[in-house]
């Protein structure tokens, strides 16, 4: 068995183990792995109690990496994320104390509860992988992911994320309720966990993925074969969001603003990672279609008329995939 094959099988095994603990959310687990493999950031949106936070913590426990959870609140300050310069009287100089953003995996819990000045502190970190405090800049670790959650139900005490920040998330995933079968399995899992806790039994240990394996997987993913026709297909999808009138008049009446170039990058990388996890060395149109919704959901702005008529971004994306022929 080659080293590369071992690397891929380690990720697949970790995926199966996480699915045993995050019941009924296979799509969510896959998106977590895609984000890790694509060197991106992830925004999870869903009602309370759908295992968003648990899923991220479970993935982090399967990585040989530093993990830190930040609970976003309205009184949070930028320095609470980045760190700050602290004066040392004994030396008469300032020393930089690193903040939680200098960990490898960041769980930004309820990210939309913090005001704009805190959100702005994330912009540089998410895009440039560095922190600037005062006149000095500090690089973040080579393995750095922001995995954020937000609750779409409660509006009081929340702040809409700026479009520039939304665009920095590789994927925006909507988490739905589990079906009846999965709900029953969740009851059984929680009951077993409670019994294990009472009996002082340790939780099952996940397969550990090293940082070197993550970087090896990313390298393999970027080397997968991507046909020119698939590349053109991705570009055509993005072009449809920017010039919808050339493809569909109804789409044109819905879309106010289309996707940035990051949308095309997100689709390509996520499609590559999807193919890699499926143990293929080439990307198919189906790989592209599987990830397009999560890659574009937060990158398309609807106009006021469409919102008033109850049109959703998902309807736009579905219509785009109908209008753009697959190769």
State mean pLDDT over 228-244.
Answer: 95
Asked if pLDDT for residue 157 goes beyond 70, the answer is no
- What confidence category does residue 40 fall into, taking pLDDT thresholds of 50, 70 and 90? very high
DSSP for residue 280 = -
pLDDT at residue 49, as a whole number:
87
Helix (H, G, I), strand (E, B) or coil at 95: strand
Return the ∠ at Cα 49 (arms to 106 and 125), rounded to 5°. 15
Instruction: Please check the confidence at residue 3 and state whether its pLDDT lies above 70.
Output: no
Residue 156 has a pLDDT of 64
- pTM for the predicted model, two decimal places: 0.91
* Position 96 pLDDT exceeds 90: no
pLDDT tens track for 127-146: 999 998 888 899 999 999 99
Average pLDDT, the chain: 90
**Confidence label for 199 from pLDDT (cuts 50, 70 and 90):** confident
43 close to 166: Cβ distance less than 8 angstroms = yes
pLDDT surpassing 50 at residue 243:
yes
What is the tens place of the pLDDT at every residue in 23-32? 889 999 999 9
For residue 192, the model assigns a pLDDT of: 87
Contacts of 200 (CB under 8 A, 6+ apart): none
Query: DSSP code of 113?
Result: G
Q: Which two tokens stand for residue 35?
A: 């984000």
Q: Which residue has the higher pLDDT, 164 or 232?
A: 232
Alpha-carbon separation of residue 166 from 7, 109, 255 (angstroms): 31, 15, 17
Q: Which of 149-153, 178-182, 269-273, 289-293 has the lowest mean pLDDT?
A: 149-153
pLDDT digits (tens, 9 = 90+) for 209-219: 999 999 999 99
Whole-number pLDDT of residue 108: 95
Best CA proximity match to 30, nearest among 263, 203, 257, 287: 287
Measured N-to-C along each axis, helices 211-222 and 26-37 cross at an angle, to the nearest 10 degrees, of 90
SS3 helix, strand, coil % of the chain, rounded to 5? 50, 15, 35
The structure tokens listed for 267 are: 């689709």
For residues 307-314, give the mean pLDDT.
89
Q: What is the pLDDT of residue 1?
A: 41
Measured distance CA(80)–CA(93) in Å, rounded: 21
For residue 266, the SS3 value is: helix
CA distances from 75 to 115, 165, 174, 248, 306 (A): 8, 20, 27, 46, 35
Q: Over the stretch 247-267, which tens digit does the pLDDT of each residue have?
A: 878 888 899 999 999 999 999
Helices 228-242 + 313-323 axis angle, to 10:
130
Q: Which of 170, 215, 207 is nearest to 9 (CA)?
A: 207
**Banded pLDDT at 45 (limits 50, 70, 90):** very high
Q: Residue 200: is its pLDDT beyond 80?
A: no
Residue with more model confidence, 207 or 322: 322
- Domains detected in the chain: 3-198 (3.40.50.300), 225-323 (1.10.8.80)
Specify the 3-state DSSP secondary structure of 187: helix
Rg (CA), the chain: 21
**For residue 2, is pLDDT > 60?**
no
Specify burial of residue 172 (Cβ count, 10 A radius: 0-12, 13-18, 19+).
Answer: buried
Can you read off the two tokens belonging to residue 287? 């790989």
């Amino acid at each position: 068995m080659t080293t590369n094959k071992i690397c891929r099988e380690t990720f697949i095994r970790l995926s199966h183990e996480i699915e045993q603990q995050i019941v009924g959310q296979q799509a969510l687990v896959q998106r977590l792995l895609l984000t890790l493999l694509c060197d991106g950031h992830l925004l999870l949106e869903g009602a309370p109690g759908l295992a968003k936070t648990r899923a991220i913590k479970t993935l982090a426990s399967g990585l040989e990496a530093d993990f830190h959870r930040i609970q976003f609140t309205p009184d949070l300050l930028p320095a609470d994320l980045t760190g700050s310069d602290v004066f040392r009287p004994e030396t008469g100089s300032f020393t930089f104390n690193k903040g939680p953003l200098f960990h490898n995996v960041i769980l930004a819990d309820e990210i939309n509860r913090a005001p704009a000045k805190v959100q702005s502190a994330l912009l540089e970190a998410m895009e440039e992988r560095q922190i600037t405090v005062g006149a000095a800049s500090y690089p973040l670790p080579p393995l750095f992911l922001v995995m954020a959650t937000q609750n779409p139900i409660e509006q009081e005490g929340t702040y809409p994320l700026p479009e520039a920040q939304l665009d920095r998330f590789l994927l925006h995933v909507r988490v739905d309720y589990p079906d009846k079968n999965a709900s029953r399995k969740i009851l059984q899992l929680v009951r077993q966990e409670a019994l294990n806790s009472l009996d002082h039994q340790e939780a099952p240990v996940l397969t550990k993925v090293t940082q070197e394996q993550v970087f090896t997987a990313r390298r393999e993913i970027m080397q997968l074969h991507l046909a020119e026709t698939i590349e053109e297909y991705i570009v055509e999808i993005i072009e449809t969001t920017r010039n919808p009138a050339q493809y569909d008049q109804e789409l044109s009446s819905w879309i106010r603003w289309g996707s940035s170039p990051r949308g095309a990058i997100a689709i390509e990388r996520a499609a590559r990672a999807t193919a890699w996890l499926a143990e293929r060395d080439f990307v198919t149109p189906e790989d592209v279609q599987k990830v397009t919704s999560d890659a574009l959901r937060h990158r398309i702005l609807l106009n006021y008329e469409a919102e008033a008529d109850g049109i959703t971004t998902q309807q736009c994306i579905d219509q785009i995939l109908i209008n753009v022929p697959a190769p």
